[in-house]
């Protein structure tokens, strides 16, 4: 299927990002029921329904070109958003192969990969890139392999080395994050970089998740959804730029809440990498404004109830404290109190 | 972790490399490239025998970057329940098998500054692939390979060609032995030790490494146990409400699978811990053969690794 890109959208300054009706209907709502609490909600990352965000291993949608430009802007200002420790080079090539193979297989009209042994030629038509290189030789690419390829794909990518019964975040491209920093977390173990998450440690979530991931198999990737909320359709809500967006939380009013407040859903994918035996963790963010969300009656009711009844510790961790009541007030008129059908389908 | 998506492979070469070891090359039946892997990985080979299915782990010994074929070596086990005998007696060029994607439970530490690879006998197989990875990355390493006698020394030419002066071979028949104390006491900081071989060799290295004060994180070992045969016994699977009879020459895991119940696993050799199963009731004793459970867990009688362990009992109820 061919994607109609919206190359001029912005995720800063004038914030012209919008979802088309098609993008709204395929939005990955993370709430299968009217309440929310953590769970180890991991499932096999198998191809999902046609047109959904999980139809393919890596989703390319109408925001692709604009998101790649946004990433380039962030990197220009702060090159430390990409980092890779020296021992992660084989994992970098693993990631490049994974992304190039997936995109060229699933979107052949947009991407082409030609391989003859280690001589590879990569064509990315939406971004106008044509690159011949030698797989395994970093000198034949304009950037390091992970840097090069993640400039051409949506979402953040963190690469973990597996050793000593743990996973260590030791390479990554992180420009569209929900308030965490690769520069701060790089080199940390699995539980260290999840340190700030409330409640889940006590629930044993990370013990189980780590054990599960250590046994993650080649060719059997997994996924889960996570979520938070963001004021304005800003992809780069990083600690490094907090001075630019932190005060946005105080700008939400009953008049502007529908357009300003966005549900931010992360489709997180995890793949075992073949040559390095590492794991790559992708965090693909999807944004939807409350006004767009409310065009789906079931979702308006569902999100109203989830936010109204959210555990205070989660509300605080997700940074919703200052404007949660305003959002609940906006969504309340859409909720007639009638039961919702199970699952997340729009109906 | 039960694997619907196995890869169909055809045997394209078989060579008897020692009196006990056969070397097999496997290529994808559909002609495609096999998945890339890292040195130290193993595959589960699925063998469809006349009256049963064998699933045995074998280390990949070929060059990780060369993916036209996978290479494995199989030692004929005298006490075999059939897997290695099947590979030796039935499998020939042209035979088809199924394999699962590679898994690495014996990976090289990427932050290691120097690597000492110790092999006993057929334990050389994962180390051959690790050698290729280390060569590729130009990281210092040494190989110490202990075998009974020259005729039992598999893959010597390949080792010598790649490792050259980094290869040290020890023949029991000549009275040579690896000087573990010497090796463990003279390494620079950041050195990692890897051992693959018979249980006695691994135990000796682990004990000596502890004596010399090595951190556990720098000592790596792998030994797949073949599930030993034993007495027949009966098991009740509580969740499935099934009774399973375990015959003398099949493992508990194989019998559970034959009854249609899936148990997650990675290695089927008592190492990875994935098939760990809770024991709900036991009238008798468990015979633990794994390398995963702690001594306390083994003594508790509350948990079992069905891939290699059995029971001598009147009643056993598992949480499956």
The 10s digit of each residue's pLDDT in A163-204 is 999 999 999 999 999 888 999 999 999 989 887 777 777 777
Under 8 Å between Cβ of B279 and B303: yes
* Mutation site, B37, B66, B110, interface A, largest A CB count within 10 A: B110
| Residue of A172, A123, A167 lying closest to A144 (CA atoms) | A172
At B77 the pLDDT is 85
Nearest Cα of chain B lies from the Cα of A149 at a distance, in angstroms, of 19
How far is B92 from B210, CA to CA, in rounded Å?
Answer: 44
How far is B14 from B24, CA to CA, in rounded Å?
Answer: 5
How far is B205 from B10, CA to CA, in rounded Å?
Answer: 38
Please confirm, yes or no, whether A224 is among the known catalytic residues: yes
Cα radius of gyration (chain A) = 20
Q: B53 in helix, strand or coil?
A: strand
State the pairing for strand pair B21-28/B70-75: antiparallel
Residue A307 has pLDDT above 50, yes or no: yes
CB-closest option in A161, A217, A220 to B110: A161
For residue B317, what is the enclosing H or E element?
Answer: strand B310-318
State the average pLDDT over residues A216-239: 94
State the pairing for strand pair B41-48/B103-104: antiparallel
- In chain A, whose CA is at the least distance from the CA of B102? A218
- In chain A, whose CA is at the least distance from the CA of B4? A220
For residue B131, what is the enclosing H or E element?
Answer: helix B124-137
Nearest Cα of chain A lies from the Cα of B43 at a distance, in angstroms, of 11
CB-closest option in A97, A164, A277 to B217: A164
How far is A314 from A320, CA to CA, in rounded Å?
Answer: 9
In which residue are the tokens 């192969």 written? A97
Nearest Cα of chain B lies from the Cα of A176 at a distance, in angstroms, of 29
List % helix, strand, coil for chain B (3-state, nearest 5).
25, 35, 45
At A182 the pLDDT is 93
- Average of per-residue pLDDT values in chain A: 94
Pairwise CB contact (< 8 Å): A274 & B111: no
Worst-scoring range by mean pLDDT, A17-21, A106-110, A340-344, B214-218? A340-344
How far is B177 from B156, CA to CA, in rounded Å?
Answer: 17
In which residue are the tokens 């139809």 written? A55
Question: What's the whole-model pTM score?
Answer: 0.91
Which of the following is catalytic: A69, A224, A249, A308?
A: A224
Write out the two tokens for B50.
Answer: 């006349």
Nearest Cα of chain A lies from the Cα of B275 at a distance, in angstroms, of 12
Under 8 Å between Cβ of B117 and B127: yes
How far is A207 from A205, CA to CA, in rounded Å?
Answer: 6
Say how many Å lie between the first and final Cα of chain B, rounded. Answer: 15
Q: Does the complex come out with an ipTM higher than 0.85?
A: yes
Residue A258 has pLDDT above 80, yes or no: yes
Residue A260 has pLDDT above 90, yes or no: yes
- In chain A, whose CA is at the least distance from the CA of B34? A274
How far is B301 from B16, CA to CA, in rounded Å?
Answer: 43
State the pairing for strand pair A156-163/B141-147: unpaired
Q: Find all residues with CB under 8 Å of A292, minimum gap 6, and list them.
A: A18, A19, A24
Question: A40: pLDDT confidence band, cut at 50, 70 and 90?
Answer: low
| Grouped pLDDT means (10 residues each) for chain B, 320 residues | 74 97 97 96 93 91 95 87 89 96 95 97 97 95 97 96 97 96 95 95 95 95 83 94 91 92 88 90 93 90 94 94
On chain B, the residues whose CB falls within 8 A of the CB of A92 are: none
How far is B127 from B57, CA to CA, in rounded Å?
Answer: 15
Residue A1 has pLDDT above 70, yes or no: no
Residue A38 has pLDDT above 80, yes or no: no
On chain B, the residues whose CB falls within 8 A of the CB of A94 are: 36
Under 8 Å between Cβ of A246 and A259: no
A177 alpha carbon, distance to own chain's centre: 8
A119 reaches B (C-beta below 8 A): no
At B2 the pLDDT is 42
How far is A284 from A56, CA to CA, in rounded Å?
Answer: 13
Ramachandran region, residue A188 (left: φ > 0; alpha: ψ -120 to 50; beta: rest): beta
State the average pLDDT over residues A105-126: 97
How far is B284 from B274, CA to CA, in rounded Å?
Answer: 24
A282 reaches B (C-beta below 8 A): no
């Amino acid at each position: 299927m061919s994607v109609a890109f919206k190359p001029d959208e912005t995720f800063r300054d004038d914030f012209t990002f919008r979802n088309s009706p098609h993008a709204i209907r395929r939005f990955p709502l993370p709430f299968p029921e009217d309440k929310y609490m953590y769970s180890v909600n991991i499932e096999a990352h198998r191809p999902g329904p046609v047109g959904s965000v999980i139809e393919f291993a890596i989703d390319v949608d109408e925001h692709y070109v604009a998101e790649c430009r946004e990433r380039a802007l962030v990197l220009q200002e702060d090159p430390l958003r990409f980092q890779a420790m020296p021992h992660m080079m084989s994992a970098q090539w693993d990631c490049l192969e994974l992304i190039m193979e997936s995109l060229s297989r699933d979107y052949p009209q947009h991407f082409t990969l030609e391989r003859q042994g280690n001589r590879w030629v990569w064509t990315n038509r939406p971004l106008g890139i044509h690159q011949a290189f030698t797989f395994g030789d970093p000198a034949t690419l304009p950037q390091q392999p992970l840097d090069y390829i993640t400039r051409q794909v949506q979402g953040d990518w963190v690469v973990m080395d597996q050793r000593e019964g743990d996973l260590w975040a030791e390479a990554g491209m992180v420009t569209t994050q929900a308030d965490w920093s690769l520069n701060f977390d790089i080199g940390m173990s699995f539980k260290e970089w999840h340190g700030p998450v409330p409640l889940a440690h006590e629930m044993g979530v990370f013990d189980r998740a780590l054990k599960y991931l250590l046994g993650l198999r080649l060719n059997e990737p997994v996924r889960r959804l996570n979520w938070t909320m963001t004021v304005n359709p800003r992809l780069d809500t990083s600690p490094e730029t907090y001075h630019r967006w932190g005060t946005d939380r105080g700008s939400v009013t009953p008049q502007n809440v529908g357009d300003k407040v966005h549900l931010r859903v992360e489709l997180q994918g995890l793949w075992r990498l073949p040559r390095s035996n590492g794991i790559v963790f992708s965090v693909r963010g999807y944004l939807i404004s409350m006004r767009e969300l409310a065009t789906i009656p079931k979702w308006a009711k569902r999100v109203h109830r989830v936010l109204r009844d959210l555990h205070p510790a989660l509300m605080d961790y997700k940074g919703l404290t200052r404007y949660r009541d305003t959002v609940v007030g906006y969504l309340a008129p859409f909720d007639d109190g009638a039961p919702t059908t199970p699952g997340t389908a729009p109906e | 972790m039960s694997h619907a998506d196995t890869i169909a492979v055809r045997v394209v070469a078989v060579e008897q490399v020692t009196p006990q070891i056969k070397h097999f090359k496997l290529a994808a039946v559909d002609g495609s490239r096999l998945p890339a892997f890292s040195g130290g990985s193993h595959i589960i080979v699925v063998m469809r025998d006349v009256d049963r299915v064998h699933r045995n782990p074998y280390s990949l010994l070929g060059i990780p970057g060369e993916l036209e074929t996978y290479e494995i070596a199989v030692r004929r086990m005298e006490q075999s329940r059939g897997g290695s005998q099947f590979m030796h007696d039935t499998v020939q060029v042209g035979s088809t098998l199924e394999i699962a994607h590679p898994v690495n439970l014996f990976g090289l530490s990427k932050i290691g500054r120097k690597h000492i690879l110790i092999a006993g006998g057929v334990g050389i197989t994962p180390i051959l692939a690790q050698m290729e990875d280390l060569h590729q990355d130009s990281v210092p390493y040494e190989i110490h390979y202990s075998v009974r006698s020259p005729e039992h020394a598999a893959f010597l030419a390949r080792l010598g060609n790649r490792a050259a002066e980094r290869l040290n071979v020890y023949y029991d028949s000549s009275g040579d032995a690896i000087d573990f104390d010497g090796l463990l006491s003279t390494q620079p900081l950041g050195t990692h030790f890897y051992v693959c071989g018979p249980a006695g060799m691994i135990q000796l290295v682990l004990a000596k490494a502890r004596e010399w004060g090595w951190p556990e994180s720098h000592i790596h070992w792998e030994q797949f146990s073949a599930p030993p045969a034993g007495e027949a016994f009966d098991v009740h699977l509580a969740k499935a409400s099934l009774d399973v009879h375990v015959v003398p020459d099949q493992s508990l895991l194989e019998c559970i699978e034959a009854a249609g119940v899936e148990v997650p696993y990675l290695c089927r050799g008592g190492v990875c811990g994935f098939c760990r199963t809770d024991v709900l009731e036991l009238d008798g004793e468990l015979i633990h053969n794994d390398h995963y459970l702690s001594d306390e867990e083994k003594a508790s009688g509350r948990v079992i690794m069905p891939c290699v362990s059995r029971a001598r009992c009147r009643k056993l109820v598992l949480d499956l």
